[in-house]
Structure formats: C-alpha cells, structure tokens
Amino acid sequence: MTKPLNIGMIGYGFMGRAHSNAYCKVNHFFDLKYRPVLKAVCARNAENAKAFADQWGYESIETDWRKLVERKDIDVIDICTPNNTHAEIALAAAAYKKMILCEKPLAMNGPEGLKMVQAIEKAGVANMVWYNYRRVPAVTLAKNLIDEGKLGRVFHYRAKFLQDWTIKADLPQGGQGLWRIDVAAAGSGVSGDLLAHCIDTALWLNGPIESLSATTETFVKERKHNLTGKVEKVGIDDACMFMCRFANGSLATFESTRYARGHKALNTFEINGENASLSWDLHDLHRLGVYDYKEGEGKLRGWKSVHVTDNSPEHPYMDKWWVPGLQIGYEHSFVHQVADFLTGLASGKPAMPDFRDAYRTQVVLDAIMESAKDGTWKKVAAV
Ligand SMILES: NC(=O)c1ccc[n+]([C@@H]2O[C@H](COP(=O)([O-])OP(=O)(O)OC[C@H]3O[C@@H](n4cnc5c(N)ncnc54)[C@H](O)[C@@H]3O)[C@@H](O)[C@H]2O)c1
C-alpha cells in the first residue's frame, strides 16, 4: 500500500501543468512508498482554478494561497508562481511545517534565499527546488561518468541558454505571461530565469565556482507595463555572459540571452577533461556527446553520440519507461524529480537540490549581478 501525500499546488501555468503531469504519472512508472494526491490547486481566479482542477483531477480549489498553507489536509506546498512570491509563500508554509517543493530560482536574491533556507531547516521538513534538468537521463549519466572519474582533470566548462522571444521592442512587460520581463516579479532577467538552470547543472557536475566576471545588457530599455499601462524602464538583464573559475581549477564561460534570433531554448553544456569530453543539448536531450581519448587517436577517432535510452543502472531512470531505444522527453525530468523526492522521503536520504543546495546558485547569481554592475571580478562566497 502506498501512503498518500496531499499536494497543494499554487499557480497553474507552465510549471503547474508540468508538475501536475508528474504527480499523475509517477506511481504508474515508479515503485514508491508514497503517492501524490492532487488535493488542491490555488489560483487567484476561482473560475480558472476550477477549470484547471477539473482538467487535472484536483479535489478542491483555493483562491488565496494563505488559506492553502493553513489547511490541515495538505502535506506539501508546491510553489509554481512567479519568483517574487516564492519567499513569502515558503516562509508561511514552513511556519505551518508543510513540506515545500519550490520552483527555481529559489528566491529573488541571496539574502532572501538564505531566509528561506533558515526557515525550512528550522521547520525540519522535506524540501526541494525544481532544477529539473539534473533528471534528464543523459545529464544524470554525465554526472555518473564524472563521479566515476571518466574525465580526469577538468579544464573547461561551457554553457549556453539561448532564446529569442523578447526581441520585439513593442512587447509589453509585466502581468500574466510577461512577468519574466518585469524586474519586480522576476528579480532579474535571463540570469535568474535561464542561467540559473545552467549554474545549478554546473555546480552539480563540476563543483563550486570560486570567482567570476560578468556583463549584462538590456537591449530594449523601456516597455509598456501591463499592470500600470505606462511606459516604464526595463529593469531586467536581456542578456548575460560570465566567465568564471571553478574550485577544481577549470575555466568556464556561460552565456544567456533572449535575443538569439532562431533559438527557442538552446540549453547546452560541454565539459573538457584530460581523458574525455562530454556535451549535451536540450534539443536532443536523450543524447550525450562523449569523446573518449582512451579509445585511441586512430583514424576513427571522434565524438560518440550516446542514445541514453538503454536499461538502468547504466542509463539512469530508463528501465522505468519503455523498451531500450525508445526515448522520453522534457516532461519526464519532472516525473523523475518527484520520484526522487518521494524515494528520499521514504529513505530519509533527501533528494537534491534542497533549498540549501539551490541557495548556492542564488549566491552565484548575486555575484553575477554585482560584477555586471561594476565590471570587476567577484569572489563567490562558499556556502
Ligand atoms: N523548472 C523549470 O524548468 C521552469 C520552467 C519554467 C518556469 N519555472 C519557474 O516556475 C515559476 C512559474 O513559472 P511559469 O512559467 O509556470 O509561469 P506562468 O506565468 O506560466 O504561471 C504562473 C502562475 O502563477 C499564478 N500566480 C501568480 N501570482 C499568484 C498568486 N499570488 N497566487 C496564486 N497564483 C499566482 C499565475 O496565475 C499563473 O497561474 C517561476 O518561478 C519560474 O521561474 C521553472
């Protein structure tokens, strides 16, 4: 018998759908001690909340998240709302000793993130942040290969996350669907939205970042604000690049923009070690590029494209799905994340990234913003 775990989800947009899908699927594919129950969805508009609840099978709705966190029949608060709401909701939920699954980035900035870490650790409840790319099987395989020592000494890490959806100068900022362009709701632009993913993956694969130098640009300086109706200054970074030094001695470059015409979600990394290199691309997410120097330098030398669809444990998570050779997609990374969270809950060995782990990304983001402001190298605090 599985133990029910009552989910109270706040927000029903992109991530609300991705998480709901994961809750619905996870027990069909993974053998787990817990079973998520779609207890309540919260949205400010009752009609929309009801429609979402009907579509996904939520048992009830709330229109004020404060009511949801107080409810005795809710075990887990899932925060799927814009970044400026994460801290307030998490602090309230932690006070009610609810487990919390929070979307990324954890917070608007480091100090806010630290308050969330302290609150959740004081509450002593399970918590996790949805840096889902760790759970793409090819990315998890990269982590396993690195942990096995396949790369040897690492020299370089290179990451990109490119989009093109904000190029139009008359695109407004703020409100439903466009909160990402409003600094008051998002905290930052591509750095917190896109680079946060790249940083989380990099810290996981390559260890801590020691120092960095960053530059940002806001290409469109003013946009009409959907909430005020006025033309207002744009406060987010439209593009951000930084170079850094990792504690393991490797050098790295990171680039993110929403102005790379033709790119919708080009999220990639490449790692170059003394014995091997690895590469990954979200557009081909089931493949891991591997160059293994030890295989020889003969005329057939070259990169391999490993189709990460074989059985576990060699190919992480894949024995839970179809037969070898059949691929899975973006949404499965969320199913894997829920599965790992529930496994961690049952075993007492929490799944990562928890709030503290996600706070490390926040500290890097703060250093990026400070460096971009004054153009100097910044040390990244070890936390
Ligand atoms: N893990 C990932 O890959 C990933 C991808 C996209 C977004 N995100 C993160 O998820 C969060 C949500 O992003 P999204 O793309 O789903 O946004 P979205 O705009 O699609 O959805 C946001 C939802 O929050 C609701 N909302 C806003 N304020 C609210 C409030 N006070 N009370 C209740 N509901 C409220 C909106 O009505 C909407 O349903 C953000 O923090 C974002 O950074 C993560």
Distance CA(55)–CA(86), nearest Å, equals 25
Per residue in 312-369, pLDDT (tens digit) is 789 999 999 999 999 999 999 999 999 999 999 999 999 999 999 999 999 999 999 9
Q: Does any domain span residue 379?
A: no
In terms of domains, do 311 and 359 share one? yes
How many A from CA of 37 to the centre of ligand 1?
A: 21
In terms of domains, do 178 and 208 share one? yes
Which residues on adjacent β-strands are paired with residue 3?
34
Name the domain boundary from 132, 165, 186: 132
Is the CB–ligand 1 distance for residue 130 below 6 Å? yes
In terms of domains, do 203 and 90 share one? no
Is the CB–ligand 1 distance for residue 132 below 6 Å? yes
Tell how strand 34-42 and strand 3-10 pair up: parallel
Q: Is the pLDDT assigned to residue 170 strictly greater than 80?
A: yes
Q: Is the pLDDT assigned to residue 197 strictly greater than 80?
A: yes
Q: Is the pLDDT assigned to residue 47 strictly greater than 80?
A: yes
In terms of domains, do 59 and 126 share one? yes
DSSP 257: E
Number of structural domains found in the chain = 2
In terms of domains, do 36 and 182 share one? no
- For the question of whether the overall pTM of this predicted structure is more than 0.75, the answer is yes
For residue 183, give Cα distances in angstroms to 75, 131, 190, 230, 300: 32, 21, 11, 15, 51
Tell how strand 154-162 and strand 266-273 pair up: antiparallel
How many A from CA of 308 to the centre of ligand 1?
A: 30
How many A from CA of 62 to the centre of ligand 1?
A: 16
CATH number for 21: 3.40.50.720
Per residue in 131-146, pLDDT (tens digit) is 999 999 999 999 999 9
Predicted confidence at residue 118, as pLDDT, reads 98
Mean pLDDT of 110-122: 98
Is the CB–ligand 1 distance for residue 11 below 6 Å? yes
Mean pLDDT of 5-14: 98
Which residue has the CA at smallest separation from atom 5 of ligand 1?
15
From the CA of 130, give the closest atom in ligand 1. Answer: 1
Is the CB–ligand 1 distance for residue 337 below 6 Å? no
In terms of domains, do 120 and 143 share one? no
Distance of CA 157 to the CA centre of its chain: 19
Is the CB–ligand 1 distance for residue 174 below 6 Å? no
Distance of CA 30 to the CA centre of its chain: 22
Our CA angle for 85, 90, 94, nearest 5°, is: 160
Contact 242, 215 (CB under 8 A): yes
Q: Does any domain span residue 380?
A: no
Instruction: Report the first-to-last Cα separation within the chain, whole angstroms.
Output: 40
What one-letter code names the amino acid at 188? S
How many A from CA of 177 to the centre of ligand 1?
A: 9
Instruction: Please list, in sequence order, all residues whose beta carbon lies within 8 angstroms of the beta carbon of residue 111, skipping any fewer than 6 positions away.
Output: none
Instruction: Please list, in sequence order, all residues whose beta carbon lies within 8 angstroms of the beta carbon of residue 212, skipping any fewer than 6 positions away.
Output: 242, 243, 244, 245, 364, 367, 368, 371, 377, 378, 380
How many A from CA of 45 to the centre of ligand 1?
A: 14
How many A from CA of 87 to the centre of ligand 1?
A: 13
In terms of domains, do 176 and 274 share one? yes
In terms of domains, do 173 and 111 share one? no
Domain that holds residue 211: 136-374
Q: Does any domain span residue 187?
A: yes
Is the CB–ligand 1 distance for residue 52 below 6 Å? no
Predicted confidence at residue 77, as pLDDT, reads 99
Ligand 1: which of 77, 103, 163 to mutate, most ligand atoms within 8 Å of CB? 103
Helix axes 46-56, 14-29, angle to 10 degrees: 20
Q: Does any domain span residue 277?
A: yes
Beta-carbon-side half-sphere exposure of residue 179 (alpha carbons within 13 Å): 16
Distance CA(7)–CA(108), nearest Å, equals 24
How many A from CA of 15 to the centre of ligand 1?
A: 6
In terms of domains, do 180 and 321 share one? yes
DSSP one-letter string for 209-256 = EEEEEEEEE-SS-EEEBTTT-SEEE--S-SEEEEEEEETTS-EEEEEE
Question: If you average pLDDT over every residue of the chain, what do you get?
Answer: 97
Which residues on adjacent β-strands are paired with residue 281?
268
Q: Does any domain span residue 382?
A: no
Predicted confidence at residue 26, as pLDDT, reads 98
Is the CB–ligand 1 distance for residue 82 below 6 Å? yes
Predicted confidence at residue 298, as pLDDT, reads 86
Residue positions counted in the chain: 383
Predicted confidence at residue 313, as pLDDT, reads 82
For the range 137-140, what are the long-range contacts, defined as Cβ-Cβ under 8 Å and sequence gap of 24 or more?
137/286, 137/308, 137/309, 137/315, 137/316, 137/317, 137/318, 137/328, 137/336, 138/280, 138/285, 138/286, 138/287, 138/288, 138/306, 138/308, 139/201, 139/280, 139/288, 140/316, 140/317
Q: Is the pLDDT assigned to residue 4 strictly greater than 80?
A: yes
Which residues on adjacent β-strands are paired with residue 7?
38, 76
Distance CA(208)–CA(2), nearest Å, equals 38
Predicted confidence at residue 312, as pLDDT, reads 76
How many A from CA of 66 to the centre of ligand 1?
A: 17
How many A from CA of 99 to the centre of ligand 1?
A: 19
Which residue has the CA at smallest separation from atom 37 of ligand 1?
11
Ligand 1: which of 10, 12, 14 to mutate, most ligand atoms within 8 Å of CB? 14
Name the domain boundary from 132, 165, 200: 132
Q: Is the pLDDT assigned to residue 297 strictly greater than 90?
A: no
